[in-house]
Structure 1
């Protein structure tokens, strides 16, 4: 289980750099080709605590009608996936907190719906590459505090925040993003009365509870040794990332709608932070974000912590208040 005190996990991580060696990992990863990698130093990769599949990814989950769901609080966050030809689907963060990856198929599109709690990164990928369709699991490894996924076909390692294979035969392959967004359960349900919501998985987990209590109000990120973001931006402030640009959430929450760089970002209140209080539904209001292009179409984006944006896009553009 991932219900571990952050201090205890930190203690485990102190020894991780000593084990940052493919020779140490090969027993657990016999299929992974460690001769191919885009990572400059193995020390960048550390253990997050759980072993391979210690956080069990889900595949082909069950769904129920949105109107029949009674367990989820109105303000709880869900990841919404709307694909033409399919009923809209909501993937509750109360489940993704404990599983981090859901392998599913929506409207004929094989997708991986992902959530990295330590970066607040929620991204949906198309699982198809030119060699076929992949299925993803949780490696238990972190880089810049971000989850490293792995595909079960080649056991290549993938960086969740950028959707790119960084170790193994598929190194350099980039997954296509599927537009999705985080919003409150009430927003999804009210907009999609005929929509579907992922049913509660059959695992013994404290669903609805937040094992990272108070994390997004911390002064420093967890299991991260990189540079802090510039411009005095708090490292755990949420930013809206579109490509290599990031809009700080405090600016968007004040302006509520911003049109810049060919995109329109809108903010509305009503979504609870999943990384605040012990009970997710009681988390403080951090609001919901939608990102659309000039034709009003939803765009793939991420609402992640500022430190993670700076780590993976060190030359990225910060869209500060004018």
Structure 2
């Protein structure tokens, strides 16, 4: 299976490049990280994903141009949409986040980190302000339950992307505020926001638009994952919509079109390509777009992640089945 996947060069080492976490060794690589302060009970949960610290380069202060002037992105390609207050809506294409995973930006005066973990399909946006301090995030190169471990450049504390929580260092136990954002097709964003802004292509030598994880979301098991599989016979790589500690299977939402439960209305619309299917993102199969709103019609922070990741980080979470 893995031979068919076009992993980034740093990950091609596969298991030969994977090493169990060892704070005694990593203290030399991370001299400013306080490993004595941590919520991790079993260091074996953390492994190296292959790339070293900043081997996957996060983007800071990205450039933007008008949506109407964009010509590189295919209509069905996914973007992460961020709309804050009266600020001009912004789209962060997954074709870029696949290779960079974190974008540090400021929208409407709010410093945000727009993040995407391909191995979990987790796309989350966080407020970068913690205790009156604005943090800047990078990619540590470490994984826990196949999910990206971020770090902040100010204290080099480690943060779990899927839950936005500090797990090693000064900010252990601190939770980042999640900012409502959602994944949708480029055509949806552009149609709704012709004068919106889209992130410009970063100045890196990357094959933007290519999916280096070809066929990943149709595999039976996640890559570099050493945790339990989901209950109820739900496939590990099935997409679920997480709102708080609840998860709705995407298949159920696609069949219904819209579901109102637990105080939220979740709608599904066809037209968004999977970023983790075909070798070219624009050609990925249609997985549709999700929007989550509360009773007043306001957007609600959520995630569309793989079922195994929800179970790993929300072991006592509630599965919203038929």
TM-score tier, shorter chain, comes to: over 0.9
Looking at structure 1, the residues matched to 12 and 109 of structure 2 have their Cα atoms a distance apart, in angstroms, of: 43
Are residue 12 (structure 1) and residue 41 (structure 2) matched? Answer: no
When residues 170 and 96 of structure 1 are mapped into structure 2, their CA distance, relative to the original with a 3 A threshold, is: same
1:164-183 to 2 correspondence within 5 Å? 164-183=165-184
Quote how far apart the aligned CAs of 1:6 are: 6.5
Q: Which residue matches 1:79? A: 80
Quote how far apart the aligned CAs of 1:24 are: 0.7
Looking at structure 2, the residues matched to 221 and 3 of structure 1 have their Cα atoms a distance apart, in angstroms, of: 16
Looking at structure 1, the residues matched to 11 and 165 of structure 2 have their Cα atoms a distance apart, in angstroms, of: 27
Could you report, residue by residue, the CA deviation over 1:53-77 in whole angstroms, capped at 9, with x for unpaired residues? 0000000000000000000000000
Q: Which residue matches 1:258? A: 259
1:200-211 to 2 correspondence within 5 Å? 200-211=201-212
Q: Which residue matches 1:125? A: 126
Could you report, residue by residue, the CA deviation over 1:259-310 in whole angstroms, capped at 9, with x for unpaired residues? 0000000000000000001000000000000000000000000000000000
Gaps of 5+ in 1: none
SS for the counterpart of 1:273 is: coil
Q: Which moved more, 1:2-11 or 1:151-160?
A: 2-11
Q: Which residue matches 1:291? A: 292
Looking at structure 1, the residues matched to 285 and 7 of structure 2 have their Cα atoms a distance apart, in angstroms, of: 22
Deviation beyond 6 Å, 4+ runs, structure 1:
none
- Superposed CA RMSD in Å reads 1.2
- 2:8 pairs with 3, 8, 15, which one? 3
Q: Which residue matches 1:109? A: 110
Q: Which residue matches 1:279? A: 280
When residues 103 and 62 of structure 1 are mapped into structure 2, their CA distance, relative to the original with a 3 A threshold, is: same
Contact 1:184/1:271 (<8 A) preserved? yes
1:1-322 to 2 correspondence within 5 Å? 3-4=8-9, 8-13=13-18, 16-17=19-20, 20-321=21-322
Quote how far apart the aligned CAs of 1:199 are: 0.1
SS for the counterpart of 1:26 is: helix
SS for the counterpart of 2:114 is: strand
Looking at structure 2, the residues matched to 94 and 47 of structure 1 have their Cα atoms a distance apart, in angstroms, of: 24
Contact 1:120/1:303 (<8 A) preserved? yes
SS for the counterpart of 1:23 is: helix
Contact 1:119/1:146 (<8 A) preserved? yes
SS for the counterpart of 1:314 is: coil
Quote how far apart the aligned CAs of 1:4 are: 3.6
SS for the counterpart of 1:298 is: coil
SS for the counterpart of 2:91 is: strand
Quote how far apart the aligned CAs of 1:21 are: 1.3
Quote how far apart the aligned CAs of 1:7 are: 6.4
User: What is the TM-score when the length of structure 2 is the normalising length?
Assistant: 0.97
User: What is the TM-score when the length of structure 1 is the normalising length?
Assistant: 0.97
Quote how far apart the aligned CAs of 1:2 are: 6.0
